[in-house]
Amino acid sequence: MLDAMLGYEYFHRLPPKTTGREVFSGAWLRQWMHAFPQVGGCDLVATVTELTAISIARGYTLIPNDIRDAITHVVVSGGGARNPVLMDRLQVCLCPYVFLCQCGGLCVCVCVC
């Protein structure tokens, strides 16, 4: 399921790009659930969490080298910043960047990998 989801065309678009619920909606997820009925519950949540981490990390590879080489910090905000599994996976996938977790406007952790 994860490999199929990573093949979704959005993940191959060049930056700049943005998205939200208009693309990654409940209907989008239900299509995947229908295509992979054996994946459910905790496995489904884990798959979507890993999809999020991998797709963000892969997005960095699409940034031109001269710009990407200048990146020293990654700041995460919003609800995902409160997901410890996602934050752990982002730290692994985005290493060697200094990683800042931003929750509610306050920096709550700084991790150097």
**pLDDT score, position 102:** 63
Q: Digits of tens for pLDDT over the chain (113 positions)?
A: 999 999 999 998 888 888 888 999 999 999 999 999 999 999 999 999 999 999 988 988 888 888 888 888 888 877 888 888 998 899 898 887 767 666 665 554 555 55
> DSSP states of the chain as a string?
-HHHHHTSGGGGSPSS----TTTS-HHHHHHHHHH-TT--HHHHHHHHHHHHHHHHHHHHHTS-HHHHTT--EEEE-SGGGG-HHHHHHHHHHHTTSEEEEEETTEEEEEEE-
Does the pTM surpass 0.95? The reply is no
